[in-house]
Amino acid sequence: MAILQAPNNEILRRRTFAIISHPDAGKTTLTEKLLLYGGAIHLAGSVKARKASRHAVSDWMEIEKQRGISVTSSAMQFDYAGYRVNILDTPGHQDFSEDTYRTLMAADSAVMLIDGARGVEPQTIKLFHVCRMRGIPIFTFVNKMDRAAKDPFDLMSEIEDVLGIHCCPMNWPVGVDGDFKGVYDRKTQSVALFRGDESHGARAVDATRGRLDDAAIQAVLGDYHAGRLAGDLELLDGAGEALDAERVAAGELSPMFFGSAMNNFGVESFLEYFLGMAPSPLGRKADTGVIAPESDEFSAFVFKIQANMNPAHRDRLAFIRVCSGVFEKGMSATVSQTGQVVRMAQPQQFMANEREVVEKAYPGDIIGLFDPGVFHLGDTLTGGGRFAYEGIPMFAPENFMRVATMDSMKRKQFVKGVSQLAEEGAIQVFKQVDIGRQELIIGVVGVLQFDVFAYRIKGEYGVDVRMEGLPYKFVRWITACPGDAEKLHLTSSSLYAADAAGRPVLFFANSWSIQWALDNNKGLALADTASRVWEIDG
């Protein structure tokens, strides 16, 4: 591999990216291996080994370790070859897609991880389109090549047909029918031979490399694989997409890599190519125009809030992405949305749940701030004039439950827990106007979020809850009403309620009921989005 030449400029040497994929494509495993090669960890854990003493570094929440899935985004930082890498590992499970969407707002590029045997899957499609809307570069890593996989040309066609983006393979697999031999690096015109080891991917390994015409390489590949590789390369060179940096930067062309994250094969090569091609921190759209990272004025925005990362201290952290200027420990900044001035005394940087206090941070860096309750998702922090960055997308929930504390003496803890989980964006909260205060309605995108809600409110707030499923599939905010909202003509399967801010909403069991309400209430207007507000009446 060529030696990377990282710039000395603090902004230009930073790379901030998120990894997106369908569940079980190996996303958290790839994150672990990038950390391994970056020197941030010395032994990689296994997400699947639930009974093992090691768990994936990026899975810090206890429920994640028990279930072997990621349910919240993690932010981690490490140095490699002079670059400062900020990696955002996100939940792959579709029930936690909201957290992934918010995290993508903090990334300058994305790595799209695809299972070589399964190809493009539904959750990958959804996440890809968010990246496309943001116009950020997308790099493709085809994983699990040590197993039987689809023909790589078929994978390229599938990505183009389903996602509408062309691929430029940077390397090419040798053996895809369960007989994986290694990969051919098109830039260096060399072959790296696959070799497993007894650590099962826990330690970094060196690959045997050589040119295709080397006798030793030919002996390992054999006539069949050597001949097939030669034919594939001829086809790629003649009809394949050429690497175009401008198209990559615009999100129109995806550099494509093949490898096996579980066995560490191709990971280091991918990391080096990625760091050399991925963009440094980009300018951000604000209500005053695009704010360049080189601007002297400090600015950042809140893309994630997490309560109880340290259960012993019951703390609450706001994750911010630095966008311009220089962040310094102890500095003050203004929350643009409220005008409140906050002093940032204990900024944290992360390796999953391990933290260290940071003295300075630059555009592209992700830091955590202790939050006494002043930050909300999407807030902009500025060191000078007030402006606001573009908002973070939120989604109308699609699943609903009525919840109440089983112990009325713990009403205060119940309200606190619900409020804090709502502030994280994990749930949305509603109140039925014609019943007492003891019950709330919570809405989520995916049903697995209900399990996480019950687990966390019990473990972190000591509250047992009673949960009753509701038949609604849609919630709509009333933006215009012909009269008293409580007297609207609705189907028997619809419900009038209010959100946490007291704004009127309607719940519907199906789309037909929505149209019926509009047809039978002249002047009624409904919206499927609204800004988040956290005022819950205790």
Q: What pLDDT score does 63 carry?
A: 45
Contact 145, 180 (CB under 8 A): yes
For the ranges 193-202, 430-439, 477-486, the maximum mean pLDDT occurs at: 477-486
Dihedral over alpha carbons 29, 124, 128, 272 (to 10 degrees): 30
Rounded to an integer, the average pLDDT of 101-115 is 91
284-382 CATH pick, 2.40.30.10, 3.40.640.10, 3.20.20.140, 3.30.70.890: 2.40.30.10
Reported as a pLDDT band with limits 50, 70 and 90, residue 198 is low
271 against 390, higher pLDDT: 271
Residue 1 has pLDDT above 70, yes or no: no
Q: What pLDDT score does 311 carry?
A: 57
Residue pLDDT, tens place only, 312-325: 556 778 899 999 99
CATH architecture for segment(s) 17-73+92-97+108-277: 3-Layer(aba) Sandwich (3.40)
d(CA 145, CA 159): 17
Residues 6+ apart with CB under 8 A from 116: 142, 143, 144, 145, 147, 149, 150, 155, 176, 258
Helices (H), 110-151: 122-134
* Distance, first Cα to last Cα, the chain: 60
The rounded percent of the chain whose pLDDT value lies above 90 is 54
Rounded to an integer, the average pLDDT of 295-316 is 79
Residues 6+ apart with CB under 8 A from 136: 104, 107, 108, 109, 110, 251, 279, 282
Judge whether 17-73+92-97+108-277 and 284-382 match in fold: no
Phi, psi of 187 (to 5 degrees): -75, -45
List the chain domain ranges: 17-73+92-97+108-277, 284-382, 399-527
Residue with tokens 């990625």: 274
Amino acid symbol at 191: V
Reported as a pLDDT band with limits 50, 70 and 90, residue 308 is low
Reported as a pLDDT band with limits 50, 70 and 90, residue 48 is very low
Report the chain's mean pLDDT, rounded to a whole number.
85
Q: What pLDDT score does 197 carry?
A: 58
For 399-527, CATH gives 3.30.70.3280
Residue pLDDT, tens place only, 151-189: 999 999 999 999 999 999 999 999 999 999 999 999 999
Residue 70 has pLDDT above 70, yes or no: no
Q: Provide the angle, in degrees to the nearest 10, between the axes of the packed helices 215-239 and 152-163.
A: 30
Give the residue from 302, 344, 346 showing the smallest Cα distance to 103: 302
Reported as a pLDDT band with limits 50, 70 and 90, residue 201 is low
Amino acid symbol at 121: E
Q: What pLDDT score does 5 carry?
A: 80
Residue 535 has pLDDT above 50, yes or no: no
Reported as a pLDDT band with limits 50, 70 and 90, residue 136 is very high
Q: Provide the 3-class DSSP secondary structure of residue 476.
A: strand
Phi-psi region of 49 (alpha: psi -120 to 50; beta: other; left: phi over 0): beta
Give the residue from 479, 475, 481 showing the smallest Cα distance to 494: 475
Q: What pLDDT score does 394 carry?
A: 62
Rounded to an integer, the average pLDDT of 202-225 is 83
Q: What pLDDT score does 523 carry?
A: 95
Residue 356 has pLDDT above 60, yes or no: yes
Give the residue from 183, 262, 167, 176 showing the smallest Cα distance to 217: 183
Rounded to an integer, the average pLDDT of 348-366 is 82
Q: What pLDDT score does 71 carry?
A: 35
Q: Provide the 3-class DSSP secondary structure of residue 496.
A: strand
Rounded to an integer, the average pLDDT of 89-111 is 74
Q: What pLDDT score does 77 carry?
A: 86
Strands 341-343 and 332-335: antiparallel
Q: Provide the angle, in degrees to the nearest 10, between the axes of the packed helices 448-461 and 411-424.
A: 130
- Give the range among 266-275, 295-304, 346-355, 421-430 with minimum mean pLDDT: 346-355
Helices (H), 386-534: 411-424, 448-461, 511-519
Rounded to an integer, the average pLDDT of 261-281 is 94
Q: What pLDDT score does 59 carry?
A: 46
Residue 58 has pLDDT above 80, yes or no: no
Q: What pLDDT score does 212 carry?
A: 86
Beta bridge partners of 257: 141
Phi, psi of 270 (to 5 degrees): -60, -45
Report the largest interatomic distance among the alpha carbons of the chain, rounded to a whole angstrom.
85
